[in-house]
Amino acid sequence: MDKSGGTYILILNLKNDRPAQIGKLGRLTFKAGSYGYVGSAFGPGGLISRLKHHIKLSRKPHWHIDYFRRFANPTYVWFSKKNERLEHEWAAAMYQMQHTFLPIKGFGSTDCSCISHLFYFLKQPCFHLFQGKIKNQNLSCSNIYDYFF
């Protein structure tokens, strides 16, 4: 199995508005629609192992996204196997994209200075627009891929 690390954006769909307990963030309400969660995986098992973790439902939630995954379904992922942590730059790029909003401050970003690692899309997120945003920030975008589940 490929154990290389990388950065990813997990795109999820929520069918209905939903209140939910998200770890220590508390009880929050999420609007129906598409969400993007930005993360990185450089530990044991690498990117593939982390994405497998996010795709299955976690019995013992550890990260904020584990709680959210209990009711939101992954639809596809954007990822890079570049051996460099890009999650903060990618989160900043997502924050600046048109029709993208922060549903919850601090979601997935309690260990960094990012406002959030979870984003809400008014329109279906576009992979090519994200690539363009990354390119405009002079970040490498030649090795970013998308994968549908």
Segments forming the whole domain that contains residue 24 = 6-143
Residue of 25 and 2 predicted with greater confidence: 25
Tell me what the pLDDT averaged over the chain comes to: 90
Band of residue 139 on the pLDDT scale cut at 50, 70, 90 = low
Q: How many CB atoms lie within 10 A of CB 37?
A: 26
User: Is residue 20 a part of any domain in this protein?
Assistant: yes
**Whether residue 140 has pLDDT greater than 60:** no
User: Is residue 23 a part of any domain in this protein?
Assistant: yes
Give the mean pLDDT of 88-96: 91
* Cβ contacts of 82 within 8 Å, gap of 6 or more: 6, 7, 140, 143
What pLDDT score was predicted for residue 144? 79
Q: What is the pTM of this model?
A: 0.91
* Cβ contacts of 91 within 8 Å, gap of 6 or more: 38, 109, 114, 115, 116, 117
User: Is residue 1 a part of any domain in this protein?
Assistant: no
User: Is residue 60 a part of any domain in this protein?
Assistant: yes
CB 58 within 8 A of CB 66: yes
